[in-house]
Copies of this chain bind each other. A is one copy, B any other.
Amino acid sequence: MENSLTQTLQALADPTRRKILQMLGERNLSAGDIGAAFDMKAPSISHHLTVLKNAGLVLAERQGQNIVYSLNTTVMQEFMQEMRQLFRVGENGNA
């Protein structure tokens, strides 16, 4: 769970992973729930979840037989802040 800007952007640069984030924005979901929404085998979904987890964008918690994923909104906010800085162009009087 390193969490560099590059890692976050790489994680976001995949439509499957962005859709997962959107789904988790509605409610927390198990890996199985998430997988059911995609035409993809379970290990592939698991891989995407690992990428999101390593980027710090989601949190995972085991609940019995399931592992339930949720958004890490803190990290998402921090990421948006970094992007604003990157795009805050040539303001030579900035903070």
Cβ of A14 < 8 Å from any Cβ of B?
Answer: yes
Shortest distance in angstroms between A88's beta carbon and chain B's nearest beta carbon?
8
Q: Which residues of A contact B (CB under 8 A)?
A: 5-6, 9-10, 12-15, 18, 21-22, 25-27, 71, 73, 76, 80, 83-84, 86-90
Cα separation A86 to B73 with both chains bound (whole Å):
12
- Report yes or no: A25 in contact with B80, Cβ–Cβ below 8 A: no
Known contacts A26-B90, A27-B90, A87-B76: A9-B13 contact under CB 8 Å = yes
Find out whether the CB atom of B18 lies under 8 angstroms from the CB atom of A5: yes
The 26 sampled A-B contact pairs (Cβ below 8 Å) are: A5-B18, A6-B13, A6-B14, A6-B15, A9-B9, A9-B13, A10-B13, A12-B13, A12-B86, A13-B13, A18-B86, A21-B87, A22-B86, A25-B87, A25-B88, A25-B89, A25-B90, A26-B90, A27-B90, A71-B89, A73-B89, A76-B87, A76-B89, A80-B84, A80-B87, A83-B83
